[in-house]
Structure 1
């Protein structure tokens, strides 16, 4: 797997944007509201599946380096694993089926589901097993999903609009 200078640059930019956007938070319980998801969705829309995975893998490693081992024990860390998978799935769908408005919207929706399908179980394990909580599935969904749906819809719409505008420029320059 050989990466061009351009690939390395795009991967680095998206990893850095994902990391930086995670520091801009609004606390809403165990999972803060950030614009990270928007950046992750854009990563999947703008980069190849390989580069999307590399970018979010770099972000995961940076989060571990900054937060240390204890970062793994944060209820929200599972979403970082979900970011890598979600960005990859979005890019896979776009590469495989094309970049139309419908497919882009579907890819963003599926990518978001992937992020939550990894993040929520991880959050449940950390809250209930490691931190000794006794949260029901309904409580987990209220804390880790339902409260974020309106913001996620806005971020998904923004990702589709921005992605459609930028995809041609970025895609032409990718190897």
Structure 2
């Protein structure tokens, strides 16, 4: 139990720390930041349930007003902004990413974690983000989807980085990759 709490807090802090990497602001209000890499790592390393919990803890702190988002933003208003759909999608993205890594046991962990990050950390996340942008910006889903095309190259790079980092952690400290834990801690 204490180990789960520690990992949840550690990965919530990792997402916050990745918010310190300077963001690149785009004209339509959704920044390019490193925090989505943290979302991917929550899933690939912690697994579905614990990864989702770490992201929910982070979002709770943001909702309470802590300036943990890229650029030092926080508060409930963040969820009503053009990037609000992405924020709401973060726990789902981490969960799906972790679920894939937990279930797909064959093959290279680097490949599995990278593909899981692309499906969960990009595909699922973009689905939420596009809907959120469509609502806030009053654009069609197609127009909103066109706006997020600029994110794809960087997010694919982050997914590959998540794959390599997950495999590196598994090699150095196999018990730390809870998504692959044989006893899958409760």
Q: Same fold (TM over 0.5)?
A: yes
* Structure 1 segment 122-133 matched on structure 2, within 5 A: 122-128=132-138
Aligned-partner Cα distance in 2 for 1:140–1:81: 16
Structure with higher RCO (Cα < 8 A, 6+ apart)? 1
Aligned-partner Cα distance in 1 for 2:54–2:116: 18
RMSD: 2.0
Aligned-partner Cα distance in 1 for 2:54–2:62: 12
What TM-score, normalized to structure 1? 0.85
Match of 2:32 in 1: 33
- Deviation of 1:136 (Å): 4.2
Choose which of 92, 115, 123 in structure 2 pairs with 1:113: 123
Which secondary structure state, in structure 1, belongs to the residue aligned with residue 163 of structure 2? helix
Aligned-partner Cα distance in 1 for 2:106–2:5: 23
Match of 1:170 in 2: 176
Figure out how many residues of one structure are paired with residues of the other and give that number: 165
- Deviation of 1:151 (Å): 0.7
* Structure 1 segment 153-164 matched on structure 2, within 5 A: 153-164=156-167
* Structure 1 segment 6-85 matched on structure 2, within 5 A: 6-24=3-21, 25-29=23-27, 30-66=29-65, 67-85=74-92
Deviates more, 1:20-29 or 1:80-89: 20-29
The unaligned stretches of length 5 or more in structure 2 are: 66-73
- Deviation of 1:100 (Å): 3.3
Aligned-partner Cα distance in 1 for 2:162–2:13: 17
Deviations 1:112-146 (A, max 9, x none): 20011111101110111xxxxxx344442232x21
> Per the alignment, do residues 121 and 113 of structure 1 end up closer, same or farther by CA in structure 2, a change over 3 Å counting?
same
Match of 1:151 in 2: 154
Q: Answer whether contact 2:131 2:141 (CA < 8 A) is retained.
A: no
Deviations 1:144-169 (A, max 9, x none): x2111111111111111001111324
Q: Which has the higher helix share?
A: 1
